[in-house]
């Protein structure tokens, strides 16, 4: 199949994630309770345009959650704007276009404390535990994967981003922030 310029045809097995795994059990859920959290965000490329240089047929791609609501073409095929695709997977994960995959960055340092025989990482202020879990920074993030860019940024750089950059997506078992390169405002 051929897609129009700047479009990609993607086959999505099902629209919503309707099962979760808890230990050894598989539980069925009502995906309509929070449809934006349960939308399927990956599929397989089944059509590209003649101008497409990065994506190939059979690539697994991850995309914006609204794709399953507004890009349906026919059957289980969706016509997706290329700019809504975050990355593709072959031998590893490759960001697509202007997208950057980032990981949380923690401003504070944790200390290991033994509580009831269990080592826990906590945040302390003096001798008082102020938090039991580290909180990711609301200003900075660490680049995990970045494609071609004019910013001279590389993987593992810590960067400042525009407010609200924390758009999380689970990609190949890791939770990434999907950040547009234009939302990166500086490097640490």
The values of phi and psi at residue 23, to 5°, are 65, -125
Cα–Cα nearest to 95, from 21, 158, 166, 169: 169
Q: How many Cα atoms occupy the beta-carbon half-sphere of 184 within 13 Å?
A: 26
Is residue 136's pLDDT more than 80?
yes
Confidence at 113, pLDDT banded by 50, 70, 90? confident
Over residues 110-129, the mean pLDDT reads 81
Q: What percent of the chain has pLDDT over 90?
A: 59
B/e letters for 4-31, b = 16+ CB within 10 Å, e = fewer, are: eeebbbbebeebeeeeeeeeeeeeeeeb
- Average pLDDT over the chain reads 90
Is residue 95's pLDDT more than 80?
yes
Torsion of CA 156, 176, 55, 37, to 10 degrees: -170
Distance, CA of 94 to CA of 168 (rounded, Å): 17
Confidence at 3, pLDDT banded by 50, 70, 90? confident
pLDDT tens per residue across span 44-91: 999 999 999 999 999 999 999 999 888 888 899 999 999 999 999 999
pLDDT tens per residue across span 14-47: 999 899 888 999 999 898 888 888 899 999 999 9
pTM, to two decimals? 0.84
């Amino acid at each position: 199949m051929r897609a129009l310029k700047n479009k990609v045809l993607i086959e999505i097995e099902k629209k919503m994630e309707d099962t979760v795994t808890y230990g050894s059990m598989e539980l069925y859920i009502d995906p309509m309770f929070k449809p934006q959290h349960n939308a399927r965000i990956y599929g397989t490329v089944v059509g590209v345009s003649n101008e497409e240089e990065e994506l190939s047929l059979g690539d697994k791609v991850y995309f914006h959650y609204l794709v399953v609501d507004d890009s349906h073409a026919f059957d289980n095929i969706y016509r997706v704007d290329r700019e809504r695709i975050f990355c593709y997977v072959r031998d590893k994960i490759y960001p697509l276009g202007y997208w950057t995959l980032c990981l949380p960055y923690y401003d504070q340092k944790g200390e290991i404390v033994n509580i009831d025989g269990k080592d826990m990482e906590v945040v302390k202020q003096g001798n008082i535990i102020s938090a039991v879990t580290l909180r990711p920074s609301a200003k900075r993030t660490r680049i995990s994967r970045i494609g071609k860019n004019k910013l001279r940024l590389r993987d593992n750089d810590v960067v400042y981003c525009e407010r609200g950059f924390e758009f999380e997506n689970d990609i190949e078992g890791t939770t990434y922030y999907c950040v547009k390169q234009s939302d990166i405002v500086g490097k640490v």
